[in-house]
Amino acid sequence: MKHEHLEEAGGLSFGAFFVRWMRFRREDMLAMLSFPVGFWLLLLAVVLIAGAVEGTADPEALGIPVALALVGGVFAGFIVGVGSAGVCFTLAICWGQPRRYGVAALWLSGILYGALNLLLAAVLQGAVRLFAPGSLDLLGRLPLVLWLALLIGPTTASVVVKAVLRRFGPKAGGWLYLVFMIFCIGIPNLDNVRGMDLRPALSAVLAVGLVAAGAVGSRWLLRTPVGND
């Protein structure tokens, strides 16, 4: 049934094609949005049980599950996005659609998911603060660049990973993992640099890096042969 949606999509305008694309991906989208909700409920239960066992109630701790659920949603978007950049993108091309349609659909659907993930986190935090006004407001403390990262980061990462693997082959996965580990280990340790406030520079580098990486990854998807997975 899923293949029929794309098979019938040949010759459509991009708007009509994107509607078909979203119908094709609706199960993935629901699964990605269900994950942070379930993760939040699990973490909230852990926090409440820990508070009951210790006999103390810390309202601020109730805001932590929301932030972790938001991060979980970002990872879910990345993992499913890598699959979409492979399977769905390839099928779109095989059924006669231009490559630019597939790349544009990847970005639009990914940004839509990022916006829904942020909206879901805001709703969860609003619900928590309704019953616990003293809970930690982590979303309100996020700088603008992190909002941008949460919005387009999963799509950028999935496009770059799939594009690199298509262009350079499976061996490039090791280099991608190395870059990821350097980023995870190096960024937190930058706080140890004495006498320097690197946050403005890091924010600028992150914003420019996200846009540049997404542009390069998209260009490679447009040019690399589909069979190079």
pLDDT in tens, 93-152: 777 778 888 888 889 989 999 999 999 998 988 888 888 777 777 777 778 888 888 899
**Residue 21 within a domain:** yes
Q: What is the CA radius of gyration of the chain?
A: 20
The burial class, CB within 10 Å (0-12 / 13-18 / 19+), for 176 is middle
**Residue 128 within a domain:** yes
67 contacts 139 by C-beta, under 8 angstroms: yes
Structural domain that includes position 122: 2-223
Check residue 115 and give its pLDDT: 92
Check residue 188 and give its pLDDT: 59
39 contacts 61 by C-beta, under 8 angstroms: no
Percent helix / strand / coil, the chain, rounded to 5: 85, 0, 15
Whether 13 shows a pLDDT value over 60: the answer reads yes
**Residue 190 within a domain:** yes
**Residue 228 within a domain:** no
d(CA 64, CA 80): 25
Whether 5 shows a pLDDT value over 50: the answer reads no
**Residue 129 within a domain:** yes
**Across all residues in the chain, what is the average pLDDT?**
79
The residue among 177 and 191 whose pLDDT is bigger is 177
| 177-199 average pLDDT score | 65
**Residue 212 within a domain:** yes
Which residues are CB-neighbours of 64 under 8 A, at least 6 positions away?
43, 47, 136, 138
Percent of the chain with pLDDT strictly greater than 90: 7
The residue among 200 and 214 whose pLDDT is bigger is 214
Question: How many domains is the chain partitioned into structurally?
Answer: 1
pLDDT band (50, 70, 90) for residue 215: very high
d(CA 5, CA 95): 10
**Residue 61 within a domain:** yes
**Residue 148 within a domain:** yes
As given in the structure block, the two tokens for residue 200 are 């403005």
pLDDT in tens, 72-101: 999 888 888 887 777 767 777 777 778 888
